[in-house]
Amino acid sequence: MLWLGDFNRHHLLWEETRNRHLYNYTTAQPLIDLIADYGMLQLLPLGLPTLQSLSMDNWTRPDNVFGTEQLLDVILTCTTAPELKGLKTDHVPILLTLALEMPQINEEPRRNWHEMDWEKFNTTLRETLTLLPPPQPLASDTEFQESANRITQAILDVADQCVPHTKPCPHTRRWWTKCLTDL
């Protein structure tokens, strides 16, 4: 488990002693309790400030990184980068590098419903459905299931014939349509 962000809490566990005037045990205690309850460890080393007050030019540590012991083996770096702080910004970026293995996922080709010819699909489906037994009252649950399976299989067969397949690359925007390209 990994927690990182602007907790906006000052405590002697991570704040420098010169900032003891910022300590507020009442507001920090719920965070301390959560850290203890979940067995979290402070991953960002003590003494690294994460915020430079623009008005007072004082360096403090409201941002932090906590993680479970299981993460220790995969953490390559956890530090700050004051040199990357933007103009007129007070927070310093935190750089966290994890050595995680990403499993290769071979995605099966999917149907590209955006490129489907609906007219061809509807025509082919009508023709395919005429090959099924004519509609009749269904006397049992078994007859109902068999009929539903035949109709479902007909739709799937027509989709295989009429809907092009695509194999998305890792950068595919699945929400992107041809209509958006034309804009």
Strongest mean pLDDT among 15-24, 99-108, 128-137: 128-137
125-156 tens-digit pLDDT: 999 999 998 888 999 999 999 999 999 999 99
pTM of the model: 0.58
Choose one of 68, 98, 128: the last residue of a domain: 98
Per-residue confidence (pLDDT) for residue 172, from 0 to 100: 66
Same domain, yes or no: 75 and 21: yes
Count of domains for the chain = 2
Same domain, yes or no: 40 and 115: no
Alpha helices, DSSP H, located in 38-140: 118-129
Average pLDDT over residues 167-181: 71
Which two tokens mark 169?
Answer: 């690359």
Secondary structure element (H or E) that encloses residue 53, with its range? none
Same domain, yes or no: 129 and 177: yes
Q: Is residue 163 part of a domain?
A: yes
Q: Is the pLDDT of residue 66 over 90?
A: yes
Per-residue confidence (pLDDT) for residue 168, from 0 to 100: 65
Same domain, yes or no: 8 and 80: yes
Distance CA 114, CA 119 (A): 13
Alpha helices, DSSP H, located in the chain: 25-37, 118-129, 141-162, 178-182
Same domain, yes or no: 128 and 151: yes
Q: Which residues of 109-119 are buried (b: 16+ CB within 10 A; e: fewer)?
A: eeeeeeeeeee
Q: What residues make up the domain containing 159? A: 110-182
